[in-house]
Chain A
């Protein structure tokens, strides 16, 4: 119940990050979602990821559309501004916000209805535009707030609570993201925090469009035996391909890794991303191969998870637009206004 503030009492021994903040400083209001909702686990993973990344919470913009998933930005990062906007339109809000201020971190939370149906156009265009953000879909194959209709990501044959089978081809958001040119594409499971937290850290730190599709079961409408997006079904079919861990530049010294089994990608700011391949035949740096592999290996019902694709030379909207390195909303008026003398010259040219 989000209108009830959480008590602000901290355990004195709570661990602190380099900003001197505890995990509690990254929390939001109490969740109003159903008990056991996968989305609450995702919010908890986001809190953990931001805490571990030492992100100043107020330097994050939390954006969402409409739906159960879109309610969740209230439940993490209380000191950050949030924007619960219009159904399916979070990507345009994110694009405008990122255009205005390139200095904040943007976390967009959406759902399968919000992204794969009403917002499909905005989703793929935000990818094309290269908005520097984490675009997170909490994917449960169902419309929760309107009580259990199939969404466009529901698998063919998956049954509703009332026993009806979905006849329509599912939209695979990961495939779309790959095709549209997203630089960072991952899939995970709300029930696998070990995998999810490092993936979210890497996605947040990634300087470009990072897409994470999280299977996040709906305990009320889509967690029954014949659903393919239930906890049980997802656990059964989950096959991790690539493990990821993100290490900010400042923490490099303290992190110890066993050599040999990991591949390291150094990002522009010197931060490092460590990848561990769990499937020998998978290449997460080859977009076309990744798409082929996913197509071939999902046919048997496997849910392939992990960091599925990484462009180690990321670009973003501001690079494409060639904008000033300073946030546009911080530029002084004098830098924007040509002044009266220039206008007099323009008048003269119009006579």
Chain B
């Protein structure tokens, strides 16, 4: 039988039952490989459920740095009877399947072209541990031990990680190590270890970190000086506020126990965004985190914040829609509903982070932009980036940074005769001045309203004055285009074909471009980081043909926005779509792009022949 033989380039997949503690054991494997200097891409594929349903965890190991989802499996850790047959089918020919051989394996489940590795895990842990909960948890640690032997994962690294994990609960370390050794010894005894497919220590991660995007964004809010968070629990955004809360507990508690922050768990998303609007109106840096259904509920308030010009920061951790959709699967499907959220003519600034470092940086930028522009800023992350650990450049901080609070008039300015009118474009950038409640006894007060208002801030039903104001808001969006983070070039080889993409597609793009190049297809690539789109985006489109636009949604929402905002011929942009709820793969990009180009290439080759 063939056996896959590769070093430092493979995909592990764990099939578990959720609620059994498997995610932390699987995370332990990912982090151990990372500590061995290997780039890893862990992805948790979990159900919308607390206990008893199938859950998977994938780890891609790639010395070459291709940490995105590959979509195929080299070694399956099959620990879930419910999905066993499916899990057997998903292994690459020549690959491996580790299973619990405490009970005999039904012959019909076998496949002749893959290698079955049986270890009686349940039997071993039952013999070793008395407590049923321990047996459940330590079975996971035991298979980590098996994998350590099979894949050459250094036991010292695992032990060190366990020590760090159980710091303060030291008595848990010996039984965990015992379970680990149990599995490791069982594998060494049964199989020739390591397998031909295994890991070897390298120095391929440098100073990079392994972190999830939601933690990075929550930490970014702490660093940005946000003091009010208002939210309603919703997967997959919850961990962002949890992270903000945890970091605030580390950094924002006074000696007397009082807190230099407020977290309000609202009754629903309508109230959550209302609280952010109220706090921001009152001069605090305030934010909310939600997902698509929450954005739907928040749209009325987003329109108010846009029209009344209140700085709001919203993190949308996108998931599969529409409706409840698949709440634990990833997508980039809220682009249109966020960009144009609310009734009337509205447009919102969006940021598209593509790594935990960008989640952190863009959290800070979002507050600066929101306050500079006095408008909502939506940070469009997704479940894949938000909830999975990503290999990321380390977070960086410049202690010279001071927040840009925008055009806020002070008591002194008002005292010195500054003529304050709320919606007057004094500086020609379409951004007016604002004053905060309580600033001055007799000057600077104004009435914030969602109803028609003129330049001076007064109520109006005069069509010309109304139009003058909404025209200024549109011009303000032009100013936004000069302030948002610009698109970044990944490849610029003077090629005719180009590809545009955002966010998490970045993880697989280099791999896809390399694979396409191997087929003789060379593309330039530009990653968009914000809406409104910058000049560089339209220059790129003008300079390339065809231009592919990658969307992790069905309807090509990014492409639609490019067409609308750039007034482009739809034929100029070719959609590349991934919307099954799983993170996009390089393979999908390669197939979609090469399939589109195939007739063109055939034609070109025919002409040259």
Contacts and interface: CB of A to CB of B under 8 A. Distances in A.
Interface of A: 2-3, 56-59, 61, 63, 73-74, 78-86, 89, 91-101, 103-104, 121-122, 125, 129, 318, 321-325, 328-329, 331, 333, 335-340, 342-343, 346-347, 350-351
Contacts of A338: 222-223, 247, 250-251
Contact of A86 (B222, B284, B450): B450
A85 B211 contact: no
B446 interface: yes
Contact of B228 (A85, A100, A104, A340): A100
B394 A101 contact: no
Nearest to B448: A83
B436 interface: yes
Interface string B251-278: 1101001111111101110111111111
B399 interface: yes
A101 B436 CA distance: 11
9 contacts: A56-B441, A92-B272, A93-B278, A125-B267, A329-B282, A333-B225, A336-B252, A340-B398, A351-B207
Interface residues of B, number: 77
B437 A101 contact: yes
A340 B211 CA distance: 18
A58 B439 contact: yes
Contacts of A81: 435-438, 445-448
B451 A347 contact: no
Nearest to B392: A350
A95 B271 contact: yes
Interface of B: 34-35, 207-211, 219, 222-223, 225-228, 230, 247, 250-252, 254, 257-264, 266-268, 270-284, 286, 300-301, 304, 394-399, 401-403, 435-442, 445-451, 458-460
A92 B304 CA distance: 14
A328 B261 contact: yes
A58 B435 CA distance: 12
A96 B396 contact: no
Given A96-B286, A350-B209, A104 B275 contact: no
B225 A336 contact: yes
Contacts of A73: 447
A103 B438 contact: yes
Nearest to B435: A81
A99 B450 contact: no
Contacts of A328: 227-228, 260-262, 284
Contacts of A329: 227, 279, 282-284, 436
A101 B283 contact: yes
Nearest to B267: A125
Contacts of B398: 340
Given A86-B304, A89-B270, A328-B284, A96 B278 contact: yes
A84 B457 CA distance: 13
B279 A3 contact: no
A237 to B, nearest CB: 34
Contacts of A351: 34-35, 207-210
**Considering residues A101, A125, A129, which has the most beta carbons from chain B within 10 angstroms of its beta carbon?**
A101
Given A92-B274, A325-B258, A82 B447 contact: yes
A182 B438 CA distance: 26
B227 A129 contact: no
A317 B270 CA distance: 19
A318 B258 CA distance: 10
Contacts of A93: 274-275, 277-278, 281
B437 A84 contact: no
Contact of B394 (A61, A337, A339, A347): A347
Given A83-B278, A86-B450, A99-B279, A323 B259 contact: yes
A95 B209 CA distance: 38
B399 A339 contact: yes
Contacts of A63: 278
A346 B219 contact: yes
A336 B227 contact: yes
A81 B270 CA distance: 23
Interface centre among B208, B219, B283 (most CB of A within 10 A): B283
A340 B398 CA distance: 6
Given A81-B435, A350-B210, 5 more contacts: A58-B442, A79-B442, A83-B281, A100-B278, A351-B207
Given A99-B284, A100-B284, A101-B284, A84 B451 contact: yes
A104 B284 CA distance: 14
Contacts of B247: 338
B437 A92 contact: no
Contacts of A96: 228, 230, 264, 274-282, 286
Nearest to B451: A84
A103 B286 CA distance: 18
B311 to A, nearest CB: 12
B442 A3 contact: no
Contact of A100 (B268, B283, B458): B283
Nearest to B262: A99
Contact of A80 (B281, B445, B459): B445
A74 B450 CA distance: 14
Nearest to A95: B275
A59 B442 CA distance: 11
Contacts of B259: 321-324
Contacts of A101: 282-284, 437-438
A121 B274 CA distance: 13
B298 to A, nearest CB: 11
Contacts of B439: 58
Contacts of B446: 81-82
B412 to A, nearest CB: 15
Contact of B403 (A2, A92, A333, A342): A333
A197 B496 CA distance: 76
Contacts of B273: 92
A322 to B, nearest CB: 5
A345 to B, nearest CB: 10
A90 to B, nearest CB: 8
